[in-house]
Amino acid sequence: MLRKIALWIDERLYVSKLYASTAGHSVPANAESWFYVFGSGTLLCFIIQVVTGTCLAFVYTPSATEAYTSLEYLNYQQSLGWLLRAIHYWGSNFMVGIMILHLTQVFLFGAFKYPREMTWISGVVLLLCTLGMAFTGQVLRFDQDAYWGLGIGAAMMGRVPVVGPNLVHLMLAGPIIAGETLSRFFTLHVFIIPGTIIALVSLHLRLVLTKGINEYPVPGKRVEKETYAEEYERLIKKEGVPFFPKAISKDLVFSGLVTLGILGCALYFGPEGPHGVPDPTQINTVPKPDFFFLWLYAVLALLPDYLETILILTVPVIAIGFLFALPFISGTGEKSARRRPVAVLSVIVIFLALGTFNYLGTYAPWSPKMSAWSGEATPFKYVKGRSPLELRGALVFQSKQCRNCHSLDGSGGLRGPALDGVATRLTSDQLVRQVIQGGGNMPAYGKNLSPAEVDAIVAFMQTLHEPNDSPARDTTAPENSGDKGKETATVRR
Amino acid sequence: MVVKEPDVVVKEPESKSIGVTEGELVQLVRNRPSRRAFLFKLGAALNVVAASLMGIPVIGFVFSSFRSKGPSESWIGLGALDSFPVGQTRLATYRNPYTRPWDGPTADIPCWVRRIEGEKFQVFAINCTHLGCPVRWFQESHLFMCPCHGGAFYEDGSHASGPPPRGLYEYQYKVERGQLLVRGGILPTLSEPL
C-alpha cells in the first residue's frame, strides 16, 4: 500500500527523474574532496541569510526615523530578536569568508577553464552581489557608521568625471543622505540583489550539472578543447559516483560545522550594533566599515593623494574586468596548482596584502588619536628633573594637541613618528623649522605658536633621548649644535 | 523529416482543394501568410510597444537623478550673529531645506562657522574633502582633524596634511537682519562642491 502511494507520488511529481538529473548526478570520485565543500557552504550561508533576514524584516522598519529604534527593539524587546540579528550578522561574515575560500579553491584548481567559463563568470557576478549585500546590509544597520559609510560611498562616486553628481544622487536617492537613501538600500538589500543572487545561483548550479563538477586536477594533465569533453565523460563512466548520497558526505559535515559556527559566534559575540543614532550632528564619531571593507578603508588612507582618484576609478574596473576575462586569458592548459606558479604566487600576494591592510584597518595608525592630548598624560620620566623651560615645553606639547599624532612612551597617536628619541634625529634648528613650517605630512604651526612657545617646545623635545644617546649634530656646523645638545644633557644630570 | 509534416498539413481543407503534390504543398503552406503567423507577429510587436511604454516610466523613475532636478539648495538660517564670537570657530546645525517627514535625525546637518571679524565669515561643510567623514575642530592647535584617514585642515579651511585633495568645502553665506544664512541642501563632493 505504502509502495503504491509512493509510486503514485513519484509518477505525478517525477521525483525519481528529478533526483537522477539533479542531486543524483554523477561526479568524478576524486572530486569527493575536502577542498570541494566551500560552494555548498556558501549556498548554505545564503539560505541562512534569507531565513534570518526574512525574520528580521517582520520587525525592522526601513524609515530613517524608525530604523534605529526598531533595531534597538529587536535587540532588547523582541523575543530572540538579538539572536536573529546576531545570526544574520555572523552569517554574513561566514558567507563572505567561505565564498572567498570557494573562489580561491576554484581558481587554484583551474575550474574556470574550458568548458566552465560561464560557471566562473556567474560566480564572479555572485561575488559582486555578495559584496553588495555586505555593504547594503551594513547601511540597513542604520547607525553612525552607516551614515558616514554612505558619505564615503558618495565621496567616491563624486570623483567620477562628468556624471559624478548624477551617480551620487542615484546612490543617495537625492542630493543628501536622508530617508529615501535608506529606502533605496532596503530595496537593494531585500529585493534586487537577493533576487539576482537566486537567479544566478540557479544558473550556477545548472551549469555545475550540465558541465559537470571540475575533476581533481592532476599535474601534467592539460585541458584541450578537442578532447576534454570526451575525457570527462570517460572519467565519469569509469569512476563516477552519485553526488547524493555518496559524494555529499563531506559537504554535509562542513555544512553542519558552518551552521554550528554561525550559531556559536552569534551566541557568544551577540549582535553587532547599532552604534549611535544616525544623527550627523553627533560629530564625535570614528566611522569604520565592517571587516569585509576594512582593507579598502586602509588602502584609501595609505594611497598617495595624487594617485587616489585615478586608482579609485580604475582599479575596481581592472580587477573585476580581469576576473571576468580570466577564463578567456587562460582557458586551457594546466589545471593543477603545482604547475601554475604565477597563480599560486598571486593568491599568496593578494591574501597577504588584504590581510595586512585589514590588520592595519583594525587600529588605523593613520588617524590622529582625537583624545590623546586630553586623555593621555605626559610620561613621568619625561618631566622628572626638567628645567622650567622644558616643563613649559611639555605643557605646550600637550595642550597644542601634538600628542594626537605623536606618541610618547607608547601612548598617543601614530599618525606622525613617535618622539621618544627625536633629539637624536633632529638638531634644535631642524626642530624649530619642523614645528614652524611643518612638512612631511605635518601641518605648519608657525601661525599658532608664539616664539616663546616654540622655544619651550623645542627645549622639551631636545630632552627626548635615552640617557646615553648622543644628540643629533648639524654636519655643517658640528660644534654649535653639539654644544646645545650637551648643554641640555648636562642640565638633566 | 519532410514526410511527417505533410500529414498534418494535408488535413487542412484549403490545402487539399489546391491539389498539389506533397513536396510542393509544404513549400506553398510555409510561404503563405497564415493567420497564426500574423497573430504571432502582431502579438510580438504589441508586446514590444507595450513593454517600452511601461518601461519608460520605470526607468525614468529609477534614474530620475539623470533628469533635470528640482531645487535642492536654498538659503537657511544658522542663527543670530551674536552666537558666533569673533575669532572663533563654532559648530552650527541647520535643517535640510527639502526634507521628507521620515528623514528623522538625518535631516539636521552640522557645519563649522568661523567668524573672522564683523560680518566676515567662513562656513565649512562638516565633510572631509577626502571621503566625507566629519571633521572636528581643535581650538588649541587651530586645526580641523578628520577621524577616518588622518586629513587635517588649517583654520581657514586650507589643506594642512593627509590625503584630502583640497581644502574644506565652503558654503556661500550672507548676513540678513542680524542672522547668518548659508546656502545648503546637498552633500558636497569633489565633483559637486558647494
pLDDT in tens, B43-59: 999 999 999 999 999 99
The verdict on a CB contact (< 8 Å) between A277 and B140 is no
Q: Is the pTM of this model over 0.90?
A: no
Mutate to test the interface with A, among B183, B191, B194 (most CBs of A within 10 A): B191
Residue A376 pLDDT greater than 90, yes or no: no
**Mean pLDDT comparison of A14-18, A39-43, A312-316, highest-scoring range:** A39-43
Per-residue pLDDT, A245: 86
Residues of A in contact with B149 (CB under 8 A): 297, 300-301, 366-367
Residue carrying the nine cell digits 590581510: A355
Report yes or no on A4 lying in a domain: no
Of A64, A148, A402, the CB nearest to B133: A148
**Where does a domain end: A343, A363, A383?**
A363
The verdict on a CB contact (< 8 Å) between A284 and B161 is no
Domain identity same for A357 and A382: no
Residues of A in contact with B132 (CB under 8 A): 148, 151-152, 154-155
**Where does a domain end: A328, A363, A398?**
A363
CATH code where residue A456 lies = 1.10.760.10
Domain identity same for A475 and A389: yes
Report yes or no on A300 lying in a domain: yes
For A386-414, the pLDDT digits (tens) are 899 999 999 899 989 899 899 888 888 88
Residue carrying the nine cell digits 510597444: B49
Domain identity same for A271 and A408: no
Q: Return the ∠ at Cα B20 (arms to B19 and B22), rounded to 5°.
A: 125
Mutate to test the interface with A, among B58, B62, B65, B66 (most CBs of A within 10 A): B65
Of B150, B187, B191, the CB nearest to A176: B187
Residue in chain B lying closest to A294 (CA): B148
Per-residue pLDDT, A268: 97
What does the alpha-carbon distance between residue A484 and residue A466 come to, in Å, rounded to a whole number? 16
The verdict on a CB contact (< 8 Å) between B142 and A447 is yes
Residue in chain B lying closest to A284 (CA): B136
Distances (CA, A) of B115 to B90, B127, B168: 9, 19, 16
Report yes or no on A3 lying in a domain: no
CATH code where residue A112 lies = 1.20.810.10
Per-residue pLDDT, A86: 96
Q: Return the ∠ at Cα A300 (arms to A295 and A306), rounded to 5°.
A: 150
Per-residue pLDDT, B10: 47
Domain identity same for A354 and A383: no
Q: What's the mean pLDDT when you consider all of chain A?
A: 90
Report yes or no on A340 lying in a domain: yes
Residue in chain A lying closest to B91 (CA): A281
Distances (CA, A) of B106 to A177, A218, A281: 7, 58, 9
Of A168, A300, A445, the CB nearest to B189: A168
Residues of A in contact with B143 (CB under 8 A): 401, 443
Residue A484 pLDDT greater than 80, yes or no: no
The verdict on a CB contact (< 8 Å) between B140 and A399 is yes
Per-residue pLDDT, A327: 95
Please state which architecture CATH assigns to domain B74-184: 3-layer Sandwich (2.102)
Per-residue pLDDT, A492: 42
The verdict on a CB contact (< 8 Å) between A152 and B148 is yes
Domain identity same for A321 and A427: no
Domain identity same for A274 and A395: no
Question: Taking the domains of chain B in order of start, what are their residue ranges?
Answer: 4-65, 74-184
- The alpha carbon of residue A207 is apart from the nearest alpha carbon of chain B, in Å, by 30
A240-242 vs A26-28, strand pairing mode: antiparallel
Report yes or no on A1 lying in a domain: no
For A157-190, the pLDDT digits (tens) are 998 988 888 889 899 988 899 999 999 999 999 9
Residue in chain B lying closest to A443 (CA): B160
Residue-number span of the structural domain to which A430 is assigned: 372-492
For A43-95, the pLDDT digits (tens) are 999 999 999 999 999 999 999 999 999 999 999 999 999 999 999 999 999 99
Instruction: Write the DSSP assignment of chain B as a string of letters.
Output: -TTHHHHHHHTSHHHHHH---HHHHHHHHHHS--HHHHHHHHHHHHHHHHHHHHHHHHHHHHTGGGSPP----EEEEEEEGGGS-TT-EEEEEEE-SS--TT-GGGGEEEEEEEEEETTEEEEEESB-TTT-PBPEEETTTTEEE-TTT--EEETTS-EEESS-SS---EE-EEEETTEEEEEE-S---SSS--
Domain identity same for A326 and A410: no
For B118-177, the pLDDT digits (tens) are 889 999 999 999 999 999 999 888 999 998 888 999 999 999 988 898 999 999 999 998
Domain identity same for A100 and A179: yes
Domain identity same for A251 and A337: yes
Crossing angle for the helix pair A249-269 and A81-108, to the nearest 10 degrees:
140
**Where does a domain end: A345, A363, A381?**
A363
Q: Is A60 exposed, middle or buried (0-12, 13-18, 19+ CB in 10 A)?
A: buried
Residue in chain B lying closest to A151 (CA): B132
Domain identity same for A54 and A185: yes
Per-residue pLDDT, B52: 96
Structural domains in chain A (count): 2
Of A167, A175, A179, the CB nearest to B185: A175
What does the alpha-carbon distance between residue A326 and residue A118 come to, in Å, rounded to a whole number? 11
The verdict on a CB contact (< 8 Å) between A278 and B105 is yes
